[in-house]
A and B are shown apart, each in its own frame.
Chain A
Amino acid sequence: MKPFAFERARDVDHALSLAAASPGARFLAGGTNLLDLMKLEIEQPARLIDVGRLPLAEIAETAAGGLRIGALATNTAVASDPRVRSRYPALARAILAGGSVQLRNKATVGGNLMQRTRCPYFMDAAKPCNKRLPGSGCSAMEGLSRSLALFGASEMCVAVSPSDMSVALAAFDAVAETVRADGSVRRRPVETLHRLPGEAPQVDTDLAPDELVLAVELPPPPPGPQAWRKVRARASYTGAIASVAVAGDRVALGAVAARPWRARLAEAALADGASAAEAAAAELAHAEGPEGRRSLVRRITADAIREAREGAAS
Chain B
Amino acid sequence: MLTTIRVNGVDRAVEVDPRTSLLDFLRERVGLKGTKKGCDHGQCGACTVLVNGVRINACLSLAVMHDGDEVLTVEGLADGEALHPVQQAFLSEDAFQCGYCTPGQICSTVGLLAEVAAGQPSEVTADLAGPVTLSDAEIRERMSGNICRCSAYPQILAAVRRAAGAAA
Residues of chain A at the chain B interface (Cβ within 8 Å): 1, 3-6, 8, 28, 30-32, 35-36, 39, 48, 50, 52, 76, 79-80, 82, 85-86, 89, 92-93, 96-97, 99-103, 105-106, 235-237
Contacts of A103 in B (CB 8 A): 42, 56-57, 60, 145
Given contacts A80-B119, A86-B129, A97-B123, contact A4 B54 (CB under 8 A): no
Judge whether A236 and B144 touch: CB under 8 Å.
yes
Q: How far is the CA of A31 from the CA of B18 in the complex (A)?
A: 13
Contacts of B103 in A (CB 8 A): none
B17-58: which have CB < 8 Å to A? 18-19, 21, 40-42, 45, 48, 54-57
B104-137: which have CB < 8 Å to A? 108, 111-112, 115, 118-123, 125, 128-129
Judge whether B40 and A39 touch: CB under 8 Å.
yes
Q: How far is the CA of A274 from the CA of B112 in the complex (A)?
A: 44
Q: How far is the CA of A106 from the CA of B67 in the complex (A)?
A: 16
Judge whether B129 and A85 touch: CB under 8 Å.
yes
Q: How far is the CA of A100 from the CA of B111 in the complex (A)?
A: 13
Asked if B94 lies at the interface with its beta carbon under 8 angstroms from chain A, I say no
Given contacts A31-B60, A32-B42, A102-B57, contact A96 B121 (CB under 8 A): yes
Shortest Cβ distance from residue A12 to the other chain B in the assembled complex, whole angstroms: 18
Given contacts A52-B65, A106-B61, A235-B144, contact A92 B18 (CB under 8 A): no
Nearest B residue to A100 via CB reads B145
Judge whether B65 and A28 touch: CB under 8 Å.
yes
Given contacts A35-B62, A235-B144, contact A101 B18 (CB under 8 A): no
